Amino acid sequence: MRVVVLGGTGHIGTYLVPRLVAAGHDVVVVCRARREPYTGHGAWRQVTTVPIDRDTAEAEGTFGARVADLAPDAVIDLICFTPPSARQLVDALRGRIRHFLHCGTIWVHGPSTVVPTAEDGPRRPIAEYGRNKAAIEEYLHRQAQLDGFPATVVHPGHITGPGWAPVNPAGNINPDVFQRLADGRPLPLPNHGMETVQHVHADDVARMFVAALANRAVSVGESFHAVAATALTLRGYAEAVAAWFGRPATLEFQPWEQWRGGADPEDARITYDHLAHSPHCAIEKARRLLGFEPRYTSLEAVREAVDALVAVGHLRLG
């Protein structure tokens, strides 16, 4: 098929585009500006890149039409964040494509209740990002049910991989947390360190999109979690990272207000968001319908990212 990937040079696209090429698809990448993916691959020589600034084109009311003019059989949208953005694209593509795949987020569920949370679990998003993604998901599924629009939604967890800092054992993205564990210094954690995070390697997210595309008959009209098979407690995560560096984890557990008072305000904001959600989502549906199995555990995905930070000198080994 001719597959158009919107935002194809980012975290997911770095792995997704080469996999689509390897599967025999004619791939077109739409991105704001020509940029290199996080990891190079020879498959990119076979890819057509079309620079379009989505925000500008949407404001002009032309983005959907410009994507439709690329004559795609399938569109994979990795950079849609608001319902109006989704509606403009769907209106332009309706009746013209075989498959539309949207990248959502496990944040659509809001705080975990019964775990692991299945795809049909309640939608109680508590942040603007999650609320917008939940509204997009609801809209796409309604279009699939009422008008036959061929939509599939993939909900990644905390995406990680080489080239960027993963969500760390304190629930934020400050690499100093990994440095503290590498140095054997004490690491304060909020509460008892029992809240959870659930990472996923960007390549596993890419594999999920490829599996959904290859199994259109069962994926249209459905949502799938793209996560590692299990979640991590902050405490267990910190202990595992320290062990990578040959250190015991020296952890200090502090009540939330005390921990927040000693943290950078932006780090504290990000940590609170992760603690409030404490995700633990199931992947049984993708296993059953798509034959999907993640290649990376949460710790394996994070370790690859941390090793890359060490390799480029962003983490120091004493």
Domain boundaries, the chain: 2-159+199-226, 165-197+232-279+298-311
Stretch (H or E) spanning 179: helix 176-183
Q: Distances in Å between the alpha carbon of 254 and those of 187, 188, 257, 271, 272?
A: 10, 7, 8, 14, 14
pLDDT at 40: 73
pLDDT at 39: 73
Residue of 14, 8, 18 lying closest to 54 (CA atoms): 8
Instruction: Say which CATH topology domain 165-197+232-279+298-311 has.
Output: UDP-galactose 4-epimerase; domain 1 (3.90.25)
Q: State percent of the chain over pLDDT 90.
A: 93
pLDDT at 234: 98
User: Encoding tokens for residue 166?
Assistant: 């993963």
Beta strands in the chain (DSSP E): 2-6, 26-31, 48-51, 74-77, 99-103, 151-156, 158-160, 187-190, 196-197, 199-201, 223-226, 232-233, 251-254
pLDDT at 44: 79
pLDDT for 126-145, tens place per residue?
999 999 999 999 999 999 99
CATH tag for 2-159+199-226 (out of 3.30.70.270, 1.10.10.10, 3.30.70.360, 3.40.50.720): 3.40.50.720
pLDDT for 7-23, tens place per residue?
998 999 999 999 999 99
Q: Distances in Å between the alpha carbon of 160 and those of 62, 126, 127, 166, 168?
A: 33, 23, 21, 5, 11
Query: What is the overall mean pLDDT for the chain?
Result: 96
CA atoms of 272 and 251, how far apart (whole Å): 19
Q: The whole model's pTM is what? A: 0.96
Residues 236-240: what's their mean pLDDT? 98
pLDDT for 26-55, tens place per residue?
999 999 876 677 777 788 799 999 999 999
Task: Kindly give, in sequence order, each residue whose CB lies less than 8 Å from that of residue 127, ignoring residues fewer than 6 positions away.
Answer: 107, 273
pLDDT for 175-231, tens place per residue?
999 999 999 999 999 999 999 999 999 999 999 999 999 999 999 999 999 999 999
